[in-house]
Amino acid sequence: MTLSTIKITDRDHQIAKLSAIAVALSLVEFFFPSPIPGVKPGIANIIILYTIFKFDMQMGVWVSLIRVFVTSIILGSFLSPTFFLSLSGAIFSLLSLMVFKNLKREYFSIISLSLIASLAHIFGQFIIVRIWIIPHNGIFYLLPIFIVSAFIFGLVTALITIKLLQLNPKK
Amino acid sequence: MKKKLLQSYKLIKIGDWFTIILFCLLIIISTKLLWNMPQGEYLEIYKNNELLATYSLNQKITKEIKGKKGKTKIVIDNGRVRFSSSPCPKKYCIHQGWITKANQTIICIPNEISISIIGAKKGYDTINY
pLDDT digits (tens, 9 = 90+) for B58-92: 888 888 888 888 888 889 888 888 988 888 888 88
User: What's the confidence (pLDDT) of residue B88?
Assistant: 86
B53 & B79 share domain: yes
Chain B residues with a Cβ under 8 Å from any Cβ in chain A: 8, 11-16, 18-20, 23-24, 26-27, 30-31, 34-35, 124-126, 129
Residues contacting residue A37 through CB under 8 Å, at least 6 positions apart: none
Q: Is pLDDT at B39 greater than 90 in this prediction?
A: no
B90 & B106 share domain: yes
Residues of A in contact with B16 (CB under 8 A): 108-109, 111-112
Q: What value does the mean pLDDT take over residues A140-166?
A: 90
Are A151 and B24 within 8 A, CB to CB? yes
B110 & B72 share domain: yes
Residue A75 to residue A44: CA distance in whole angstroms: 15
Length of chain A measured in residues: 171
Nearest-by-CA chain A residue for B126: A138
Q: Is pLDDT at A18 greater than 70 in this prediction?
A: yes
B104 & B82 share domain: yes
Q: Which of A116, A136, A144 lies at the smallest CB-CB distance from B30?
A: A144
Q: Which residue has the higher pLDDT, B3 or A47?
A: A47
ipTM above 0.95, yes or no: no
Does residue B99 sit within a domain?
Answer: yes
B56 & B99 share domain: yes
Residues of B in contact with A115 (CB under 8 A): 19-20, 23
Are A111 and B11 within 8 A, CB to CB? yes
B46 & B62 share domain: yes
Q: In what order do the strands lie in the sheet with B71-77?
A: B60-66, B71-77, B80-85
Are A104 and B27 within 8 A, CB to CB? no
Counting residues of chain A whose pLDDT is more than 70, the rounded percentage is 98
- What digits encode the pLDDT tens for the residues A28-79? 998 887 777 778 888 999 999 999 989 989 999 999 999 999 999 999 989 9
Does residue B127 sit within a domain?
Answer: no
Residue A145 to residue A116: CA distance in whole angstroms: 16
pLDDT band at A98 (very low <50, low <70, confident <90, very high): very high
B75 & B22 share domain: no
Does residue B77 sit within a domain?
Answer: yes
Q: How many structural domains comprise chain B? A: 2
Residue A82 to residue A125: CA distance in whole angstroms: 10
Counting residues of chain B whose pLDDT is more than 90, the rounded percentage is 5
Q: Which of A115, A136, A162 lies at the smallest CB-CB distance from B129?
A: A136
Q: Which residue has the higher pLDDT, A117 or B40?
A: A117
**Which residue pairs, CB below 8 angstroms and at least 24 apart, start in A93-100?**
A93/A45, A93/A64, A93/A117, A93/A118, A93/A120, A93/A121, A93/A124, A94/A60, A94/A61, A94/A64, A95/A120, A96/A120, A97/A52, A97/A57, A97/A60, A98/A57
The SS3 call for residue A7 is coil
Q: Is pLDDT at B32 greater than 90 in this prediction?
A: no
Does residue B129 sit within a domain?
Answer: no
B65, B47 Cβ separation under 8 angstroms: yes
Are B34 and A144 within 8 A, CB to CB? yes
Q: Residue type at A92?
A: F
What is the residue extent of each domain of chain A?
10-30+42-167
pLDDT band at A6 (very low <50, low <70, confident <90, very high): confident
What CATH number should be reported for the domain whose range is A10-30+42-167? 1.10.1760
Domain that residue B11 falls in: 2-34
Q: What value does the mean pLDDT take over residues A117-131?
A: 92
- The CATH number that applies at residue B71 is 2.60.320.10
B58 & B98 share domain: yes
B28 & B70 share domain: no
